[in-house]
Every structure is written in structure tokens, then in C-alpha cells.
Amino acid sequence: MPVKILMPALSPTMTEGNLVRWLKLEGDTVKAGQVLAEIETDKATMEVEAVDEGTLVKIVVAAGTENVKVNSLIAVLLEEGEDASSIDALVSAAGENSTSPQQTAAPTPDLTIVTAVAAQSGGAATASGDRLFASPLARRLADQHNVDLKLVAGSGPHGRIVKTDVEAAAIAPKKSAAATQGVVYGEAGYADLPLNNMRKVIARRLTESKQQVPHFYLNIDCELDALLKLRTEVNQRLEAGKLSVNDFIVRACALALIKVPEANVAWMDTVIRQFEAADISVAVAIDGGLVTPVVRSANLKSLKDISGEVKVLAERARASKLAPEDYQGGSFTISNLGMYGIKQFSAIINPPQACILAVGAGEQRAVVKDGEIKVANVMSCTLSADHRAVDGAVGARFLVAFKELIEDPLSLLV
């Protein structure tokens, strides 16, 4: 019988996706494990692999189609020797049911399940749906010089981007942000920018959070002088992989959650789920939105391990190469805007998590010590908590534990 290929759910929040392009054509032979198509989700552009093998006899959803519902029919395979006469009826039935409430239900056992893997570094998908080919050296140079490879014309074989192309782009005059993003302003002086899937999901989830989650906020100031001194000493001994202040913050949050486990929770409507490990979601700004890759069991990892993992996850996020397991879950989120000079802010909780810590910039401030005014590097942090799961006293105890760890950084090395 014909094998249905369905639009997969590639993340817990995904209800629809954009079918960027097909890598197989009608009539092509498909083997298990081969990439069929590229799909843009709310988190990344993913490659979809086939589980079954056969002939791709019908593409139901064309390349470039947006807002394709999860579990809707996108293509049909026929196994060897099968009759194609039933294909039209199958496609017609799928079209009639496309708006049915059962559309997002789990697929029945006889349907082929397609799996997804992050797009490999050999060729990321561009906005136009074409593959972007660049040598490994060109990619490294582009990262070092902040060159967007999508804007570079390749001079190598078959249009491949090579070292000289990136070097030329690095010294070329920079275009304005609007020109780089292809924004064209109309006569009225504005442009309406389309929403990608990520922005749609962010808008929906954060609106629901702010409307439905009873937020309360607690603020605390932490002195950083001892931490900055220790960080400098440690980095002088490291040949590579220098530690950032944010690495210390991730480690301090994880240990504080273990000390105050009542804050390491999620609101599950009928129960409060308390976690054994501190899985820290770290907010990363990317083009078009925000993602929160997770450092698993951060309480069990060294500062060096946390630093390396955060760097890798951030690189994957900015390259749209996060796998679902990289960002699913998490028991607590950190949003750090200190690198932008933001002194203090309040963040919106990412349900079902119950807490998010907003971290501001460290700066020199006048503080009173033993009756005298002195200068110290101080960082303001604001905890947003879900009052259904975390009470004020619990949030306060967490911040006190966090402050003690930040101000006694040697405890973070143990």
C-alpha cells in the first residue's frame, strides 16, 4: 500500500512549519536514511529523512509552502511493484481532512514516520532554498570576521565560497542593516516584515505566559570583585577556552538550585514537578528570535565544561543547527543582557518552568562597607517567579544562595 509521508513535529511547541525545499523529485528512488526535504521549524531549519524506501510518486506540498500543519500529508511513496492507481484517492482524502481537528493527532501505526537531523555544516539552507557551499576555512574566517556567508558570492568550483571570497567581504564597506536584510520601505516610510515560525511561537507563548502566569519579581545586587579576580587568574592558566562571567553565573544558578530545590520546579497544572538535576536554559539571541539551549546537569559540571558547552550550543543556535534535544526541557532559565550594558530588567517566564533570572551588567558603584563608602563592581539580578509554584520566601532563599556563591567564587571551583 502507499506510504504516507507526514509533516513531522520536530519540537514540542511546533504545530506547523514551512517546507523550504524538496531534495528529491517525483519519480526518484528513495532509500531509508536519505534526506527528503528541508523544513523550517520554530527553532531551526531541519533536514527530514525517510524511514521507508520506495519511489517518490507524489509531492503533495510544494517547496516554499508556509504554515503546513503537523501530521498533514506532504508526499507519498510507493514500494516496489505497487500500483499507483490509489494515489489520487489518497491525496484527495488528505485534502478533505486537512482542516479536521484530528489533523494534529498522533499518526496511526501504518504511516511512515520521518525523522529530522540538524542541517550539517557542509551546506546550510539559505532563504531562497538554495544550498550554501563554503569550505571549512571560509566558514572559520566568516565567524572570525562576522561575515554573513549568505551575502558572499563564491568564486570556487560550482560557486563554492573560499577563503579569498570571505577576506574580500570582510574589508568591503558594510551595508546598512535594512539593506542587508532586504527591507524595502514604501512611500509611507515603513515596511511590514513577515513573521517567521520562531517569532510566531515566541509571540504566542510569551503572551500566554504574561496573561496566565502570576509573575512576581525579586531583585538582588551581587559584588563581582572576587569573581573577576579569580576569573582573570584562571584564564591566565588556560591555553584555550577562556571562562566568561556568564559561565560562573550558570554554575552558581545550578548550585543554588540544588541548595534550594523548591525553586528547581515546573508548574504542571495538577502537580508541581521538582527536578533532581539543575538543567539550565541559557537564552541566546539569534536572527529573527530567541532560543534557549539547555546545559544538562550543570550542577555536576565544572566551569570549563559549562563554558565549552555553552559556546557550542550558542554556535549551533546562531547557525540554526540545534537538534530538538538541545533545547527541549530545562528546569530554570538565565537571560543575560549585561554585555549590552543593561543594568537591570525583568524577564518573562518560559512555562512550564517556574523561574527565570535576568542578569544585568556589572559596573562600578559606590557601596557602604563598615560605615565607609567604597567602590565595588556590582551586578543586579532580577528573579521572575511563578507564584503558583514558588513562594516569595523560596525565591528569596534562592537569590541569597546565588549571591553567596557569586561573592565566594572559590566555591564554584569545588
Phi then psi for residue 356, to 5 deg, are -145, 135
Give me the helix-helix angle, 245-259 and 225-237, nearest 10°: 120
C-alpha to C-alpha distance for 38 and 118, rounded to whole angstroms:
10
Annotation says 387 is catalytic: yes
Q: Give the angle 123-312-194 at the CA atoms, nearest 5°.
A: 55
CA-CA-CA-CA torsion sign (74, 78, 84, 90): negative
C-alpha to C-alpha distance for 11 and 113, rounded to whole angstroms:
15
Residue type at 408 in one-letter notation: D
Listing DSSP states for 354-396 in one string gives -EEEEEEEEEEEEEEETTEEEEEEEEEEEEEEETTT--HHHHH
C-alpha to C-alpha distance for 383 and 347, rounded to whole angstroms:
8
Half-sphere exposure (CA, 13 Å, Cβ side) for 197? 24
End-to-end CA distance of the chain: 61
Return the residue matching grid coordinates 525583568: 346
Catalytic residue among 145, 158, 215, 387: 387
Phi then psi for residue 207, to 5 deg, are -65, -45
C-alpha to C-alpha distance for 400 and 404, rounded to whole angstroms:
6
C-alpha to C-alpha distance for 71 and 388, rounded to whole angstroms:
34
CA-CA-CA-CA torsion sign (124, 125, 127, 130): positive
Query: Residue 363 in contact with residue 338, Cβ under 8 Å?
Result: no
Q: Alpha helix locations (H) across 146-259?
A: 163-171, 177-180, 197-212, 225-237, 245-259
* 124 Cβ contact partners less than 8 Å away, ≥ 6 residues apart: 45, 131, 132, 319, 320, 321
Active-site positions read 387
